């Protein structure tokens, strides 16, 4: 497990980091000497069969040749958020569906997880809009559902799903989505959807 934590930590850092910083972050409850010893042991095991970690003096990094899924996902997300890009992949081919190390609870993981979650939900919504614009409605719904699963109380993803249903002529599904989101928002936060959300279904219902 120590090896996994070391490799994961360096993968999330994406740069050279000081040994002391690595040891202190991974072995918070140990003395400096014990943490340094645990780091030396993890380094030896990480490079015993295949070389993953590069060391230069007091600095460490993950070897650039090691493929990190998160890096590829971040690149994909930025392409989807670039107005100059025409990329419109199928949601099934994307790397944006999963959280970063979802079963890990370290502070250094939580920070990166939240950063990526924000990037991910914006990218999924951007993809949803792109797919809707070219009338790939089924895939647009898939991307929209992935966005709302990531941030269930974020209205913009639900608005996109309502728009898709309306574009397909599925008024009942649009209204059901609106009502479902409204009920959830009231139950969780005691809030109403924005006027933008109400305007989308104004011709279908009354407040």
Lowest mean pLDDT of 63-67, 84-88, 109-113, 186-190, name the range. 84-88
CA distances (Å), 4 to each of 42, 46, 101, 206, in order? 9, 8, 11, 55
Q: What average pLDDT does the segment 76-103 reach?
A: 82
Q: What average pLDDT does the segment 6-24 reach?
A: 91
Residue among 56, 66, 5 nearest 35 (CA): 5
How crowded is residue 55: how many other Cβ atoms within 10 Å of its Cβ? 12
Strands annotated E in 57-187: 59-62
Is residue 198 a contact partner of residue 160, using CB atoms and an 8 Å limit? Answer: no
**Look-up: residue for tokens 């009338």?**
135
**Look-up: residue for tokens 């340094």?**
36
CA distance 155 to 128: 14
Rounded to two decimals, what is the model's pTM? 0.84
pLDDT, tens digit, for every residue of 31-69?
888 888 988 998 888 788 668 888 888 999 998 888 888
- State the DSSP H helix or E strand holding residue 54, giving kind and residue range, or none if neither: strand 53-56
Is residue 144 a contact partner of residue 161, using CB atoms and an 8 Å limit? Answer: yes
CA distance 37 to 4: 16
Computed over every residue of the chain, the mean pLDDT equals 90
**Look-up: residue for tokens 């990094």?**
61
pLDDT, tens digit, for every residue of 124-176?
999 999 999 999 999 999 999 999 999 999 999 999 999 999 999 999 999 99
The half-sphere exposure of 81 on its side-chain side, counting CA atoms within 13 A, is 14
What are the structure tokens assigned to 158, written together?
């639900």
pLDDT exceeds 80 at position 121? yes
Name the CA radius of gyration of the chain, rounded.
22
CA distances (Å), 115 to each of 27, 99, 122, 152, 178, in order? 23, 10, 11, 17, 28
First-last CA distance in the chain: 54
pLDDT exceeds 80 at position 95? no
- State the DSSP H helix or E strand holding residue 149, giving kind and residue range, or none if neither: helix 137-150
What residues are paired with 17 via a beta bridge? 60
């Amino acid at each position: 497990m120590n090896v996994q934590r070391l490799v994961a930590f360096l993968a999330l850092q994406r740069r050279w980091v000081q040994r002391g910083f690595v040891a202190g972050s991974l072995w918070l409850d140990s003395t400096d000497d014990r943490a340094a010893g645990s780091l030396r042991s993890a380094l030896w095991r990480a490079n015993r069969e295949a070389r993953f970690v590069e060391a230069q003096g007091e600095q460490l990094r993950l070897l650039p040749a090691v493929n990190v899924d998160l890096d590829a996902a971040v690149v994909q997300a930025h392409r989807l958020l670039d107005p100059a890009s025409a990329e419109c992949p199928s949601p099934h081919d994307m790397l944006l569906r999963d959280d970063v190390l979802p079963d890990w609870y370290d502070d250094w993981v939580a920070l990166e997880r939240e950063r990526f979650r924000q990037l991910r939900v914006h990218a999924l919504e951007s993809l949803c809009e792109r797919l809707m614009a070219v009338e790939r409605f089924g895939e647009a719904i898939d991307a929209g559902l992935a966005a709302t699963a990531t941030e269930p109380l974020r209205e913009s993803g639900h608005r996109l799903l309502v728009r898709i249903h309306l574009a397909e002529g599925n008024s009942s599904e649009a209204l059901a989505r609106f009502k479902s989101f409204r009920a959830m928002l009231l139950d969780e936060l005691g809030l109403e959807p924005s006027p933008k959300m109400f305007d989308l279904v104004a011709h279908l219902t009354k407040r």
